[in-house]
Structure 1
Amino acid sequence: MTARLNEFQQPIGFDLTGWTAAKQPEKTTLSGHFCRLERLNVAQHAEELYEAFQDSPDGRHWTYLPYGPFHSSDEYREFLLTMEGLSDPFHYAVIDRSTNKAVGTVSLMRIDTANGVIEIGHVVYSPRMQRTPLSTEVMAMLSKYVFEELGYRRLEWKCDSLNEPSRAAAQRFGFTFEGIFRQLQVTQGRNRDTAWFALLDSEYDAIKSAYQAWLEPNNFDEFGHQIRKLSDMTPR
Structure 2
Amino acid sequence: MTTPHKDQFGKPVGHPVENWTGCAFPPRSDMTGSHVIVRPLDVARDAQQLFDANSKASDGSRFTYLPTGPFTDFDAYKAWLESMTASDDPMLHAIIDKATNTAVGVAAFMRIDQKNGVVEVGNINYAPALSQTIGGTEATYLMMKRAFDELGYRRYEWKCDDQNAPSRAAAARYGFTYEGTFRNHLVYKGRNRDTAWFSITSEEWPAIRAAFEAWLAPDNFDDAGQQRKRLEDLRP
TM-score range, shorter chain: over 0.9
**Counterparts of 2:139 and 2:125, CA distance in 1:** 12
**Counterparts of 1:165 and 1:24, CA distance in 2:** 30
Partner of 1:66: 67
Q: Structure 1 residue 205 and structure 2 residue 206: aligned? A: yes
Contact 1:177 1:195 in 2 (8 A): yes
**Counterparts of 1:195 and 1:93, CA distance in 2:** 25
Scaled by the length of structure 2, the TM-score of the pair is 0.96
Deviation string 1:180-211 (CA, Å, 9 cap, x unpaired) is 01111111111000000000001100000000
Contact 1:117 1:153 in 2 (8 A): yes
| RMSD of equivalent CA atoms | 1.3
Contact 2:4 2:16 in 1 (8 A): no
What fraction of aligned residue pairs are identical, expressed as a percent? 45
**Counterparts of 2:115 and 2:12, CA distance in 1:** 23
> After the TM superposition, which residues 73-222 of structure 1 pair with which residues of structure 2 at under 5 Å, given as runs?
73-222=74-223
Please list every run of 5 or more consecutive structure 2 residues that lacks an aligned counterpart in the other structure: none
What one-letter code is carried by the residue in structure 1 that aligns with 2:232? S
Deviation string 1:67-90 (CA, Å, 9 cap, x unpaired) is 010011111111111112321100
**Counterparts of 1:198 and 1:45, CA distance in 2:** 29
Partner of 2:225: 224
Partner of 2:13: 12
Partner of 1:54: 55
What one-letter code is carried by the residue in structure 2 that aligns with 1:73? F
**Counterparts of 1:17 and 1:34, CA distance in 2:** 37
Query: How far apart are 1:3 and its partner, in Å?
Result: 6.0
Partner of 1:26: 27
Contact 1:105 1:124 in 2 (8 A): yes
Contact 1:22 1:116 in 2 (8 A): yes
Secondary structure at the counterpart of residue 182 of structure 1 = strand
Scaled by the length of structure 1, the TM-score of the pair is 0.96
Please list every run of 5 or more consecutive structure 1 residues that lacks an aligned counterpart in the other structure: none
**Counterparts of 2:135 and 2:190, CA distance in 1:** 32
State the number of aligned residues.
235
**Counterparts of 2:65 and 2:50, CA distance in 1:** 19
**Counterparts of 1:32 and 1:158, CA distance in 2:** 25
Secondary structure at the counterpart of residue 204 of structure 2 = helix
What one-letter code is carried by the residue in structure 2 that aligns with 1:135? G
Contact 1:104 1:129 in 2 (8 A): yes
Query: How far apart are 1:22 and its partner, in Å?
Result: 0.8
Secondary structure at the counterpart of residue 95 of structure 1 = strand
**Counterparts of 1:183 and 1:11, CA distance in 2:** 34
Partner of 1:233: 234
Contact 1:88 1:108 in 2 (8 A): yes
Deviation string 1:21-47 (CA, Å, 9 cap, x unpaired) is 111111110000000011110100001
Deviation string 1:156-192 (CA, Å, 9 cap, x unpaired) is 0000001011001001000000000111111111100
Deviation string 1:103-128 (CA, Å, 9 cap, x unpaired) is 00000001100011000000000000
**Counterparts of 1:191 and 1:4, CA distance in 2:** 41
Deviation string 1:118-145 (CA, Å, 9 cap, x unpaired) is 0000000000000101121011111110
